[in-house]
Amino acid sequence: MKEHLFKIIILVIGLAFMAVSCRPKPVSVPEQLKSTVVHADWTRNMVLYEINVRQFSDSGNFAGVEKALPQLKELGVNVLWFMPIYPIGEKNRKGELGSYYSIRDYKGVNPEFGTLDDFKTLVAKAHDMGFHVILDWVGNHSAWDNPLAAEFPEWYAKDSVGNFVSPFDWTDVIQFDYTAMPLWDYMVGAMKFWVAEAGVDGYRCDFPGLVPEEFWYRATTELNTVRPVLMLAEDEAHSYLLERAFDMNYAWAHHHLMNAVAAGQRRPAALDTMMQYELRYYAPDSYRLRFMTNHDENSWNGTIDEKLGDAQKAFAAYIFTCPGVPLLYNGQEADLDKRLEFFKRDPIVWKESDLRPFYTKLVHLRTSHPALRHGTEGGTFVTLKTDQKNVYAYKREKGDAAVVVLLNLSNKPLTVKMKDNADGSYTELFSGEPFNLVKGKSLKLDAWGYLVLTK
C-alpha cells in the first residue's frame, strides 16, 4: 500500500531537511516558487475535516455523516473532505471490502454508503449549514474491473508483454497512461460531473505526481468555470504542482519532524528552521496542509497517541497557529485511539473527551482571527527568542491583531523568560482570562505545556 512509497519519499525529503535544520545559521534556499493560482475567497479561513464514511458512524453511510453535521458545525470546521465514495473494484480486491482508492466507476457511488441522490442531499445540507465539500479524486489508477480497462485498454500502462501494470505494490489497481489524450477528456469530464451535478467544491487529489501537471492545470481551469474550487495535492515532492494547478499540498516532512521532536529525536529549533525554509521557498500565497494524522497515518503508521502521546495538545496548538491550513481526521476530537481498519468496517468509537472543547477553541480561533488567515491575507510570522531551548515561541500579527504562542516541547516543566519584546495585553485562549506579557518576566509551562495569547 501507499505507506511503503510514502516512507521512501519522506525519507528523502526528511534527510534533506534534517541536514538543513542542524545548521545554526540560515541556509540558502532555492529560488522561490512562483504561482498564478487564484484562491477562492472561501479558502482563506479553512479548517479541513477528513471523513472516512465507512468508519465514521455505526451505519457507515451518508446518513450517518448527515446526522453528525450539527456536531461538526459546533466544532467549527468548515471544509469537509470525503475519502473516495465511488464503487470499489472486486477483481484483486484487498481485504473484505476493498480499498476506497480502487475505483470501479468514476461517476458512481459505493452502495455501502447510499445512492447518488443520498450524496447530493448530504452535500446540499452541508452547503446550507455553511460547509464546503471536497471529494477525494484518484487520477493515477483505476480498479482492474473498471469498464474503462475493457473499453479503452490503450488508456492504461502496459509492461513489455502487454499486460496491465500495478503501480508499486498496489495490486488491486492498474495504472493509467496519460499519453492517451482521450483519457484527459474523460477524466476532466468526470471531475466536472461531481462539481456540476453534486455540487462539490473541489478535490483532494490522490498521488498527483504521476499525472502530468498540464492535465491538472486543464482540470483546474475547467472546474473553475463551473464554480471556484479548492485543489489539494497529496504531494510534496512535486512542488511545481502549486505553480498553476493546485491551491495546496501536503506538509509531509513537517509532519514527520513533529513526530521526531515529540520522540526527543530532534530539537524544537528544527521546527523553526523548517518553517523559515518553507516561508522563503514556497510562493507567498501557496497553502500548506498541516496535520498530525490522516487516514494513511492512522491506519498504517499509528495513532496520535502512539506517535505524540502527551505532546498532542502542544502540537495541535502549533498547527492551528502556524502558517498553513490545519486538518482534523474524523474522531481526532474524540481521542481516536485505535488504528482504523482499511479494508473492512471498523467504526470510530465516539468518546466524550476534553479534546472536543480543546479543538473547538482552536478551530474557532483559526477561522476567525485576522492574523491567522491563509496565504498572503494572513499575518506575519516572527520567531520569538526565549531563555529555554525547548520552548518554541512565535508571533502572528496583522495590524492591531496578534497571536503569540509559547510551546514547551519537552516532557519536563519549565520556567521561561521572553528575550524578545512581545509585550502587551492579551487574552489567554483556553481560560479566557486577560494575560499581560512582559519581556523578562518568568512564565511557567507544564511538561508539553502551551500558551496561546490573542488580541
The CA-based angle 147-152-154, given to 5 degrees, is: 140
Q: Does position 379 have pLDDT exceeding 70, yes or no?
A: yes
Go through 226-251 and write b for each residue having 16 or more CB atoms within 10 A of its CB, e for each that does not: beebbbbbbbbeebebbbbbbbbbbb
Mean pLDDT of the region 382-399: 98
Strand order through the sheet with 380-384:
380-384, 391-398, 401-408, 450-454, 424-428, 434-437
Tell me which residue of 169, 172, 174 sits closest to 150, measured CA to CA: 174
Instruction: State the Cα–Cα distance between residues 89 and 200, nearest whole angstrom.
Output: 23
**Fold identical between 2-10+37-378 and 384-454?**
no
| Banded model confidence at residue 28, pLDDT cuts 50, 70, 90 | low
| Banded model confidence at residue 17, pLDDT cuts 50, 70, 90 | very low
Cell of 453: 495569547
| Banded model confidence at residue 29, pLDDT cuts 50, 70, 90 | confident
Mean pLDDT of the region 23-46: 83
Q: Does position 6 have pLDDT exceeding 50, yes or no?
A: no
Q: How many other C-beta atoms lie within 10 A of the C-beta of residue 217?
A: 17
Query: What are the extents of the domains in the chain?
Result: 2-10+37-378, 384-454
Mean pLDDT of the region 227-243: 97
**Tens digit of each residue's pLDDT (9 = 90 or more) over 78-123:** 999 999 999 999 999 999 999 999 999 999 999 999 999 999 999 9
Distance of CA 201 to the CA centre of its chain: 16
Give the rounded percent of residues in the chain with a pLDDT score beyond 70. 94
pLDDT of residue 287: 98
Instruction: State the Cα–Cα distance between residues 65 and 58, nearest whole angstrom.
Output: 10
Instruction: State the Cα–Cα distance between residues 146 and 105, nearest whole angstrom.
Output: 6
Candidates 2.40.128.640, 1.20.1090.10, 2.60.200.20, 2.60.40.1180; CATH matching 384-454: 2.60.40.1180
| Banded model confidence at residue 15, pLDDT cuts 50, 70, 90 | very low
| Banded model confidence at residue 30, pLDDT cuts 50, 70, 90 | confident
The contacts of residue 113 (CB under 8 Å, 6+ apart) are 53, 54, 60, 61, 62, 85, 119
Mean pLDDT over the full length of the chain = 94
CATH 3.20.20.80 fits 2-10+37-378, yes or no: yes
